[in-house]
Chain A
Amino acid sequence: MTIEDHSRAESPAASGLRESATFDRATIAAIQNAARTGIYDIRGGGAKRKLPHLDDLLFLGASMSRYPLEGYRERCDTDVVLGGKHASKPLRLSTPVTIAGMSFGALSGRAKESLGRGASEVGTSTTTGDGGMTEEERGHSKHLVYQYLPSRYGMNPDHLRAADAIEVVLGQGAKPGGGGMLLGQKITERVAGMRTLPAGIDQRSACRHPDWTGPDDLAIKITELREITDWEKPIYVKIGASRPYYDVKLAVKSGADVVVLDGMQGGTAATQDVFIEHVGIPTLAALPEAVRALQEMGEHRRVQLIVSGGIRNGADVAKCLALGADAVAIGTAALIALGDNDPALEEEYRRLGSAAGYYDDWQDGRDPAGITTQDPDLQQRLDPVEGGTRVANFLRVLTMEAQIIARACGKAHLLHLEPEDLVALTIEAAAMSRRPLAGTSWVPGAGA
Chain B
Amino acid sequence: MAALNAKNGIAAGNEPDAPTATVADVPLGASAARHSGTVTVDLAEVTVRQLNAALHAEPAGSRTRYRVLNPAGEHALAAGIGAPLDVRIDGHAGYYAAGMNMRAAVEIHGNAGTGVAENMMSGRVHVRGDASQSAGATAHGGLLVIDGNAGARCGISLKGADIVVGGDAGHMSAFMAQAGRLVICGDAGDALGDSLYEARIYVRGRVASLGADCVEKEMRPEHRQELSELLTAAGRDDDPSAFRRYGSARTLYHFHVDNARAY
Q: How many A-B residue pairs have CB under 8 A?
A: 106
CA distance A198 to B52 in the complex (A): 36
Q: In the complex, are the beta carbons of B137 and A211 less than 8 A apart?
A: yes
- What is the interface size of chain A, counting residues whose CB is below 8 A from a CB of the partner? 34
Which label, helix, strand, loop or mixed, suits the secondary structure of the B interface? loop
Would you list which residues of chain A between 166 and 222 have a CB under 8 Å from chain B? 181, 183-184, 195-198, 201-202, 204, 206, 210-212, 217, 220-221
**Residue in B95, B176, B197 whose beta carbon sits within 8 Å of that of A198 in the complex:** B197
Is A70 engaged at the interface, CB distance under 8 Å to the other chain?
Answer: no
Set B49, B134, B253, B257: member contacting A210, Cβ < 8 A = B134
How far, in whole Å, are A416 and B76 apart by their CA atoms in the complex? Answer: 40
B255/A196 in contact, CB under 8 A: no
Which residues of the partner chain B approach A39 to less than 8 Å between Cβ atoms? 257
CA distance A152 to B156 in the complex (A): 11
Bound: A202/B153 CA distance, A: 23
Beta-carbon nearest neighbor of B248 in chain A: A198
Contacts of A442 in B (CB 8 A): none
Determine whether B227 belongs to the interface, using a CB cutoff of 8 Å to chain A. Answer: no
6 closest A-B pairs by CB: A228-B80, A211-B115, A211-B134, A157-B100, A201-B253, A152-B138
Shortest Cβ gap from A26 to chain B (Å): 22
Closest residue on chain A to residue B133 by CB atoms: A211
Whether B201 sits at the interface, judged by CB under 8 Å, is no
Asked if A155 and B48 make an inter-chain contact with CB atoms under 8 angstroms apart, the answer reads: no
Which of B48, B138, B176, B195 contacts A211 (CB under 8 A)? B138
A-B residue pairs in contact (CB < 8 Å), sample of 17 = A152-B137, A156-B121, A157-B80, A160-B100, A181-B255, A195-B178, A210-B118, A210-B134, A210-B175, A211-B137, A212-B114, A212-B115, A221-B96, A224-B96, A227-B76, A228-B52, A230-B52
Q: Which of B120-152 contact A (CB under 8 A)?
A: 121, 133-134, 137-138, 140
Cβ–Cβ contact B159 & A196, under 8 A: yes
Q: How far is the CA of A172 from the CA of B176 in the complex (A)?
A: 21
- Known A196-B160, A201-B253, A206-B157; contact A224-B99, beta-carbon cutoff 8 A: yes
The CA of A38 and the CA of B256, in the complex, are separated in Å by 10
Whether A231 is near chain B, meaning CB under 8 Å from some CB there, is yes
Report which of B82, B114, B119, B179 forms a contact with A155, defined as CB distance below 8 A: B119
Q: From residue B101, how far is it (CB to closest CB) to chain A in Å?
A: 8
Query: Quick check: B80 and A210 within 8 Å, CB to CB?
Result: no
Interface presence of B254 (CB below 8 A)? yes
Is B53's CB within 8 Å of the partner chain A?
yes
Residue in A closest to B97 when the chains form the complex, CB atoms: A224
How many whole Å from B137's CB to the nearest CB in chain A?
4
Least CB separation from A231: chain B residue: B49
Residue of A196, A202, A231 ringed by the most chain B CB atoms within 10 A: A196
**B79 contacts A224, C-beta separation under 8 Å:** yes
A212 to B138, CA, bound (A): 12
